């Protein structure tokens, strides 16, 4: 008896993260062999490209994303963006509901303080900036190049800013830029703190293992950490903690 061939599932991954690249590779190599397209925002000049098809650039809000899902007959949408990409996550939830497409969010677990950590958790970059003058004078700022305007008024502090691409104004007047991309080593982070006489670290709770050594180095050096809490995933959207859970979700969806 001849059976009709099962249609190939079409998946769209909103990516840019390590998890998104790993997920695309795992899905492309899986027995399901879906057609995988990863969408990158285009904010990094030379992004690391994932397996499968790639598109670069925005969609034009939730309406544009919903239209893209319909026009390309997408069967499932996976939001594997950075934990702080709140706008695109909101747009994904609205677009998936509008286009009647299943949606999964991939969110790596956040960091948890351990013995000896001196963490000051805040809700925003503005709160991080407000906390800094009481904690130190030489700041290691690892929140990305897009939010430097929140710290531009802190003229009395010195900043070491690490980002993949060079930041643009407005930014703090006393600032040195370090262009680099993780993963970072513990020895390297220790040396960075020592060489630049860093006395306070500012970071977002990205939860990434590739950038976690800075937290260990800060703990060892007795340096306080201002940690910006991540926004929650949109209400009602299922969450996978890693690519393996996301692959299982896809497998169950198209079983």
Name the range with the highest mean pLDDT among 5-14, 192-201, 210-219.
192-201
Determine the average pLDDT of the residues in 133-156: 95
Q: Which domains does the chain have, with CATH numbers?
A: 10-109+232-253 (3.40.50.720), 119-228 (3.40.50.720)
Beta-carbon-side half-sphere exposure of residue 19 (alpha carbons within 13 Å): 25
Greater confidence (248 vs 145) lies with 248
**CB within 8 Å of 250: residues ≥ 6 apart:** 9, 11, 27, 30, 32, 34, 76, 78, 104
Residue 214 in tokens: 């800075």
pLDDT reported for residue 181: 85
pLDDT tens-place string over residues 178-199: 999 888 999 999 999 999 999 9
pLDDT tens-place string over residues 82-122: 899 889 999 999 999 999 999 999 999 999 999 999 999 99
pTM of the model: 0.83
Residue 2 binned pLDDT confidence (cut-offs 50, 70, 90): very low
Determine the average pLDDT of the residues in 79-83: 94
Greater confidence (207 vs 152) lies with 152
Name the range with the highest mean pLDDT among 62-76, 209-223, 227-241.
62-76
Residue 23 has pLDDT above 80, yes or no: yes
Mean pLDDT of the chain: 93
Residue 146 in tokens: 């897009």
* C-alpha to C-alpha distance for 23 and 158, rounded to whole angstroms: 39
Residue 6 has pLDDT above 70, yes or no: no
Determine the average pLDDT of the residues in 35-59: 89
Residue 165 has pLDDT above 70, yes or no: yes
- The full DSSP string for 111-123 is P---TT--EEEES
Phi-psi region for residue 222, left (φ > 0), alpha (ψ -120 to 50) or beta? left
pLDDT reported for residue 174: 97
Return the closest-CA partner of residue 181 out of 18, 10, 51, 22. 18
Give backbone dihedrals phi and psi of 220, rounded to 5 degrees, phi first.
-60, -35
Determine the average pLDDT of the residues in 46-74: 94
pLDDT reported for residue 151: 98
CB 111 within 8 A of CB 227: yes
Determine the average pLDDT of the residues in 227-253: 94
């Amino acid at each position: 008896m001849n059976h009709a061939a099962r249609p190939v599932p079409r998946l769209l991954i909103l990516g840019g993260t390590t998890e998104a690249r790993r997920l695309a590779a795992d899905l492309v190599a899986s027995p399901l062999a879906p057609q995988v397209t990863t969408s990158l925002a285009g904010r990094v000049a030379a992004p690391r490209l994932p397996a499968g098809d790639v598109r670069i650039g925005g969609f034009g809000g939730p309406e544009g994303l919903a239209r893209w899902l319909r026009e390309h007959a997408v069967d499932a949408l996976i939001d594997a963006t950075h934990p702080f990409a709140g706008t695109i996550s909101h747009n994904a939830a609205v677009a998936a509901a509008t286009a009647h497409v299943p949606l999964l969010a991939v969110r790596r677990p956040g960091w948890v303080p351990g013995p000896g950590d001196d963490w000051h958790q805040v809700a925003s970059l503005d709160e991080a900036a407000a906390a800094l003058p009481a904690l130190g004078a030489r700041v290691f700022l690892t929140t990305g190049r897009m939010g430097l305007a929140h710290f531009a008024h802190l003229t009395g502090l010195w900043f070491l800013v690490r980002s993949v691409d060079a930041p643009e104004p407005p930014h703090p007047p006393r600032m040195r830029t370090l262009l680099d991309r993780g993963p970072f080593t513990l020895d390297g982070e220790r040396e960075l703190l020592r060489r630049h006489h860093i006395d306070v670290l500012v970071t977002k709770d990205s939860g990434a293992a590739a950038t976690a050594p800075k937290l260990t180095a800060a703990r060892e050096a007795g340096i306080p950490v201002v940690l910006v809490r991540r926004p929650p995933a949109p209400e009602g959207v299922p969450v996978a903690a890693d690519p393996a859970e996301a692959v299982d979700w896809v497998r169950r969806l198209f079983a």
